[in-house]
Amino acid sequence: MEQFSTKPQASAARQEKVVLRRIRAIDIEIRSGTYPNTNDLAKKLEVGVRTISRDIEEMKLFYNAPIAFDRAKNGYYYTEDSFYIKDISLSEGELFSVALFERLLSGYRNTPLEKHLRSVFRKIAASLGERATIDTMYLDDSVTYISEPLAQIDAEVFNTVFSAVRTSKEIRFDYRPLQKQTYMSRTVRPYHIVCQKGSWYVIGFDSYKSDIRIFAFSRIKNATTTGETFEIPEDFDWRKYIDADIGVWASSQVSHKIRLRFSAEIATFASEHIWSRSQTVTQNEDGTVEVAFETTQLPEVQRWVLGQGHTVQVLEPQELIDAVKAELSQMGKMYGNT
C-alpha cells in the first residue's frame, strides 16, 4: 500500500502562491504605465533585485507576457496594451478534481511527465487566487491511493521516442524481448504511442521483422534517431494492433470471441466490471454470470483467467480453452502433480 507525504507538496504549493502574488503585483505596476524597473519593484515588494528579475523571466516564459524595457524611461512596459496576468476561475467540482490531481500522478512516476505534471498542478493551484480553497482531506494521509507497480523508463528513451513520433524520424535502439535476457538491436519507424495503466508502448514498423511490432518503453535502451524520415502508411490504424479495453501485449490482428463463465461467488464483481465496451452480460438462474466480448488479446485474457483460479471458466474459443489446459498441465508438473 502506497502512501504519500504532503509536506514537500504543501511547501511547493505555498511557494508557488508567493511567486504568483509577486507576479500579479508586477503585472499591476507595469500596466499602470509608470515604467517600473527592477529596483523600483524590488523596493515596493520588499525582495531582492534578482528575485524580481527571475519573476519577470517567468512572466515571459510561462505567461507569454510581452514585456519590453524602455531605455529612455528606464523601465518595463507591455508591448500589447490589452495584456494582463489572468487568474483561473474554477467551479467547486473542478476544485475537487484539482485536489486529487497531484495524488493521482503516481501513475506517471516512472516517466519524465511526472515532474512536468506536478509543476502544472502547482501553477494551477497557485493561480486559483486567495479566496479559493481545496479540502485537504483529499491531500492528507487519511486517503491512500494504490497504483500499478511500474517498470522504470529512462528519461532519454521517453523523450527520444516521443520526439521521433512527432517528427516522423526513424529510431534505433537496443531492445530486450519479454522472453529473453539479452538486448537486440532494432531499427523502427515509430507510428503511435500507447499508455496502458501507466505502462508506455510504441507501435511501429520493425525493419528486422519487416512488420508492425509493439515495443515497451521500459525494455528499450540507447535510443537514438537515425536521421531518416518516413511517412505513415495511409492504411495504418493503431486500433488494429491493440485492444484499448484488454491490453497491448499481443500484436495479432485476429479477433476472437471470448465467453467466460463466472462462479456465483464473484457474480457481482463479474456483472459490474467493464471488461470490454462491446461486452454482453448474462445472469444465469444458478447464480453464475456469463460475459462475452471480442478481442485480439488472447494471451492477455489467458493470463487474467489463470489468475482467477476456479472462479472463472473459459467457454470459448477452443484455442483459449486448450491454452489454459496446457498451462494448468505445466503448473501441475511444476508442483509435482501428474
**What string of pLDDT tens digits covers the 338 residues of the chain?**
334 344 555 566 677 778 888 998 999 999 999 999 999 999 999 999 999 999 999 888 888 889 999 999 999 999 988 887 766 555 555 665 666 665 666 556 667 777 777 676 666 666 655 545 555 445 556 666 666 667 788 889 999 999 999 999 999 999 998 778 899 999 999 999 988 877 889 999 999 999 999 999 999 999 999 999 999 999 999 888 887 777 776 666 788 899 999 999 888 888 888 778 788 999 999 999 999 998 888 888 898 899 889 999 999 999 999 999 999 999 988 988 65
DSSP notation for 110-164: TSTHHHHHHHHHHHHHHTT-SS----GGGTSTTS-----------HHHHHHHHHH
C-alpha cell at 188: 523502427
C-alpha cell at 264: 456465483
Strands 220-229 and 169-175, sheet pairing? antiparallel
Amino acid at 331: M
Q: Give the whole-angstrom CA distance, residue 338 versus residue 331.
A: 10
Element counts in the chain: helices (H) and strands (E):
9, 11
CA 85 from chain center: how many Å? 29
C-alpha cell at 78: 507591455
Q: What is the pTM of this model?
A: 0.58
Q: What is the residue whose three cell numbers read 512488420? A: 211
How many CA atoms lie less than 13 Å away from 45 in the CB half-sphere? 27
Closest CA to 124 of 98, 100, 104: 98
Q: Are 62 and 127 in contact (CB under 8 A)?
A: no
Sign of the alpha-carbon dihedral angle for 123, 127, 129, 133? negative
Q: Give the whole-angstrom CA distance, residue 211 versus residue 189.
A: 10
Instruction: Say whether 163 sits in a helix, a strand or coil.
Output: helix
Angle between helices 49-62 and 38-45 (to 10 degrees): 110
Q: Give the whole-angstrom CA distance, residue 79 versus residue 269.
A: 61
Q: Are 117 and 105 in contact (CB under 8 A)?
A: yes
Q: Count CB atoms within 10 A of the CB of residue 235.
A: 6
